[in-house]
Amino acid sequence: MTANGPPEKIDLLIYGPRKPTIDNGFDEGFVLHHCEQHADLDRLAPAVAGKIRGMAVTGLVPCGSAVQARFPELEIISTFGVGYDHVDTGYARDHDIVVTNTPDVLTEEVADVALGLLIATLRDFVRADRHVREGSWATRNFPLSAGSLRDRTVGMVGMGRIGQAIARRLAASRVPVVYHSRRAAAGVSHRHYPNLIEMAKEVDTLIVITPGGASTEKLINADVLAALGPRGVVVNLARGSVVDEPALIHALRSGVILAAGLDVFAHEPHVPEELRALPNVVLLPHIGSASVVTRNAMDQLVVDNVTAWFAGKPPLTPVPETLVEGR
């Protein structure tokens, strides 16, 4: 409350692509400022930057220490998406900035897409669709697919909430599942491999659903792909950074592995021409969570985290690195 007047409004920066669902989610207690891209931050007047207390990050825009340091009054970064490798949580923690993300509301959606992408890759759905559209079916049957889900063992790389939701779907499809992660996941009965190469040797399919960032950079490298072998299939819904993309392209081209289904890329939205030219890949434009219903739920959670914080309540979904009790 100001000395003699109405309550002071809270200045928020909406950083990333414009989203009406997020803008409209904030009531008149907030003043919204927008920067759609990193370069737009330079256009913010210093007087405005000095007042920003909250940031709603609406996409995978970089939010490192230099970005956060522009806003000395920043208290909360509420980012869209479950992954937050674009946010420097170490800097945030050291400067008492709470970071929130949008877990849970996208879990089942992304798991659905993982299974769909795996089957589309194994059973050649994209080329089969083209076969029908081109009118080729009347003259020749579509060839039998080299791949099938029936004779596979899946090694999950990552067994968090989405990994477990994927594993449930695979179990329902009677596909054996094992997993690699740094530590065994609590309450998960699938076999845990602390060593990724050891797991890759034992399975023929990897589904990558581990957080991005420095600790998982190029985890899926040439050695892992070689261990997976010529029946190998890689499905990646995590971050492009987790896969050594040139090594993957080489492995797909030379028969080191069979095929890949990719929803994420190292330099998305740019996808290398070598990858786009390969027949044994299914390429999606990072749509794991991209349905109207799920994206609306994620937008709402971005808003709800900020609103809770400035109402003096604990944020709903803080990331573990910056866990706080409230203001």
Query: Which residues are annotated as catalytic?
Result: 239, 268, 286
Between 60 and 199, name the residue whose CB sits nearer to ligand 8YV. Answer: 60
Q: Does 286 bind ligand 8YV (CB under 6 A)?
A: yes
Helix ranges (DSSP H) in the chain: 20-23, 46-49, 65-68, 89-94, 107-123, 125-133, 161-172, 196-202, 222-228, 245-254, 273-276, 292-310
According to DSSP, the β-strands at 259-262 and 281-283 are parallel
Number of residues near ligand 8YV (by CB under 6 A): 10
Q: Does 81 bind ligand 8YV (CB under 6 A)?
A: yes
Q: Does 289 bind ligand 8YV (CB under 6 A)?
A: yes
Q: Is the peptide bond before 269 cis (omega within 30 degrees of 0)?
A: yes
Binders of ligand 8YV among 97-126, rule CB under 6 A? 106
Between 162 and 281, name the residue whose CB sits nearer to ligand 8YV. Answer: 162
Residue nearest to ligand 8YV (CB): 81
Between 169 and 286, name the residue whose CB sits nearer to ligand 8YV. Answer: 286
Q: Does 288 bind ligand 8YV (CB under 6 A)?
A: yes
Terminal Cα-to-Cα distance of the chain (whole angstroms): 16
Between 232 and 288, name the residue whose CB sits nearer to ligand 8YV. Answer: 288
Q: Does 60 bind ligand 8YV (CB under 6 A)?
A: yes
Binders of ligand 8YV among 174-193, rule CB under 6 A? none
Between 68 and 241, name the residue whose CB sits nearer to ligand 8YV. Answer: 241
Q: Does 147 bind ligand 8YV (CB under 6 A)?
A: no
The label of the residue with tokens 């990994």 reads: 163
Collapse the DSSP code of 288 into the 3-class scheme (helix H, G, I; strand E, B; otherwise coil) and give the result.
coil
Kindly tell me the sign of the dihedral angle through the C-alpha atoms of 135, 138, 140, 145.
Answer: positive
CB of 288 to ligand 8YV, least distance (A): 6
Distance, in Å, from the CA atom of 136 to the CA atom of 214, rounded to the nearest integer, reads 47
Q: Does 57 bind ligand 8YV (CB under 6 A)?
A: no
User: Helix-strand-coil percent breakdown of the chain, rounded to 5?
Assistant: 35, 20, 45
Q: Which residues bind ligand 8YV (CB under 6 A)?
A: 59-60, 80-83, 106, 286, 288-289
